[in-house]
Amino acid sequence: MEQRPLGRTGADVSVIGLGTWQLGGDWGDVSEDDAADVLDAALDAGVTLVDTADVYGDGRSEERIRKALAPRAERPFVATKAGRRADPFEAEQYTPENLRAWIDRSRRNLGVDTLDLVQLHCPPPAVYSDQRVYDALDSFVADGAIAAYGVSVETVQEGLTALEHPGVATIQVILNIFRRKPLEELLPAAQRAGVGILARVPLASGLLTGTYDESTTFPADDHRNFNRNGEAFDVGETFAGVPFEVGVEAAREVAAVAGDVSTAAFALRWAIDQPGVTTVIPGARNVEQVRGNVAAASLPPLTDSQLSDLERLYDERIRAHVHDRW
């Protein structure tokens, strides 16, 4: 699979990575065996970046990654996140002591001395401009607890603020056919700064698989049920902030543009090809989904006609719902 430099980390990673929120929780139940099968299938298919967080299943995702990687001679690049354990969830909680405690917990969960990458996990907006936070992260790099750090953001402005700090190696942002705003300013700025971009929610929580209809339901413990209107966290993380019924109808149009190609793989290829994107990190609940995701890396780029059709679809159906919110 194609590998690209991941910003200032010094690592090269696959253009399709693996997001592992679903292996810890909030996407319905995924068994230990299924999680191991997903991780094994991804790594065997050439995936070299795995993204996780300390709050996915309260550490269960990180622990499952550790177990899956234990017998392997070669490790992928593992990007984790820290900061959502803050209680209360306020900027004042992002102290050097708390940050170190969260990082050390992830080191134990993942079974490593040095974390490849720690990303601030969509913290309160004030954190992105707090120099004390970056000074603390720099000190953790210096003492070997982490190799590099980045940020995961909800808004374009948060990403632009983070870019002002030279230690930031990567930015993780929602980017998909239904969330295009980062293309205007954030991705070009990151590219100029040599900062890597991890594109998350690339399938809009499954909308862009083209498999949902207006009657589709989700389990009670699935965020696509309990966070549909932002009840638990930022609504942009669920269906990319697009109203479900609007997204279902728009996804049908995406499928028509994709033609004979899988809608999911087509949507992932769109994200791979956006200038400045390093890696795209879809999740997968089973081996078949892993294989479908990885197939996107082998597709040719979208045609000019397809790109124009998708841009028109965004302008006519999606833009009013999302563009000015994030």
CATH of 3-322, picked from 3.20.20.100, 3.40.50.720, 3.40.50.1370, 3.20.20.140, is 3.20.20.100
Strands 117-121 and 149-152: parallel
Condensed to tens digits (0 to 9), the pLDDT of residues 105-127 reads 999 999 999 999 999 999 999 99
Place of tokens 């479900």: 244
Sign of CA dihedral 252, 248, 39, 35: negative
3-state class of 216 per DSSP? coil
Cβ 21 vs Cβ 13: under 8 Å: no
Q: Is the pTM of this model over 0.85?
A: yes
CA distance 21 to 216: 21
Condensed to tens digits (0 to 9), the pLDDT of residues 58-99 reads 999 999 999 999 999 999 999 999 999 999 999 999 999 999
Residues 6+ apart with CB under 8 A from 6: 12, 13, 49, 77, 117, 169, 170, 196, 278, 279
Q: What is the pLDDT of residue 24?
A: 83
Strands 12-14 and 3-5: antiparallel
Per DSSP, helices labelled H in the chain are 32-44, 60-69, 96-110, 131-142, 156-162, 186-193, 223-226, 244-258, 263-272, 287-294, 304-313, 319-322
Peptide bond into 88 cis (omega under 30): yes
Percentage of the chain lying above the pLDDT 70 cut: 99
Give me the residue spans of the domains in the chain.
3-322
* pLDDT band of 242, cuts 50, 70, 90: very high
Q: What is the pLDDT of residue 29?
A: 72
Q: What is the average pLDDT score of the chain?
A: 96
Torsion of CA 167, 169, 175, 180, to 10 degrees: 60
Q: How many CA atoms lie within 13 A of 182 on its CB side?
A: 29
CA distance 269 to 242: 20
